[in-house]
């Protein structure tokens, strides 16, 4: 079983090495999209979320985007000029969010996350992240 403490230790180590961090983020996001696409109950949660969601990690100059179409999610690295929702934040903030030191909503309210797009799209983006973390907790147990 993968405990929450093990995740925190791993994230602390990744925070020290940008190249390893980017590789880990890429693997985590790929795994998350695979899990969502292969789990019927999670796919059903995406119905009506059709859109393109862009993410930019400012201090690492790393971009990726999701496209949701008919309950299926696609992940690609790079910039999608057709993205209607864009979010910008730092590596440190991602680590804090993954470690549950701050919520994405709190970070946004404190001005730590910059977004472009409709607030409803932002709420959908948050839901995508929560779907994946909820699945991981369910699969691995809610260990502290």
**What's the token pair of residue 39?**
């789990």
Q: What pLDDT score was predicted for residue 144?
A: 45
The full set of domains in the chain, from first to last, is 4-136 (3.30.1050.10)
- DSSP string of 18-36? HHHHHHHHHHHHHHHHHHH
Q: What pLDDT score was predicted for residue 6?
A: 64
pTM summary value: 0.81
> Is residue 123's pLDDT more than 90?
no
**What's the token pair of residue 114?**
């910059």
> Is residue 24's pLDDT more than 60?
yes
Residue 124 CB-density burial (10 A; 0-12 exposed, 13-18 middle, 19+ buried) = buried
Residue 110 and residue 124 in contact, taking contact as beta carbons nearer than 8 Å? no
Which of 37-51, 72-86, 129-143 has the weakest average pLDDT?
A: 129-143
Closest CA to 19 of 91, 87, 89, 96: 91
Higher pLDDT, 94 or 6: 94
The tens digit of pLDDT for each residue in 86-119 reads 999 999 998 888 778 888 888 888 989 999 998 8
Cα(9)–Cα(29) distance, rounded to whole angstroms? Answer: 19
Q: What is the mean pLDDT of residues 70-85?
A: 94
Beta bridge partners of 69: 72
**What's the token pair of residue 96?**
């804090």
Cα(41)–Cα(106) distance, rounded to whole angstroms? Answer: 28
Which of 3-7, 12-16, 127-131 has the weakest average pLDDT?
A: 3-7
Q: What pLDDT score was predicted for residue 142?
A: 54
- DSSP string of 66-80? EEEETTEEEEEES--
Q: What is the mean pLDDT of residues 8-23?
A: 79
């Amino acid at each position: 079983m993968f405990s929450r403490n093990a995740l925190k230790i791993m994230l602390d180590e990744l925070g020290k090495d940008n190249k390893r961090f980017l590789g880990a983020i890429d693997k985590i996001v790929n795994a998350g999209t695979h899990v969502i696409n292969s789990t019927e109950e999670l796919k059903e949660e995406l119905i009506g979320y059709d859109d393109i969601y862009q993410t930019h990690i400012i201090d690492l100059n790393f971009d990726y985007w999701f496209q949701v179409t008919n309950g299926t999610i696609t992940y690609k690295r790079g910039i999608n000029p057709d993205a209607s929702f864009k979010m910008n934040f730092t590596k440190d903030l991602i680590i804090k969010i993954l470690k549950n030191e701050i919520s994405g909503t709190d970070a946004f309210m404190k001005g730590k996350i910059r977004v472009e797009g409709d607030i409803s799209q932002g709420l959908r983006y948050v839901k995508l992240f929560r779907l994946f973390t909820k699945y991981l907790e369910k699969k691995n147990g809610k260990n502290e």
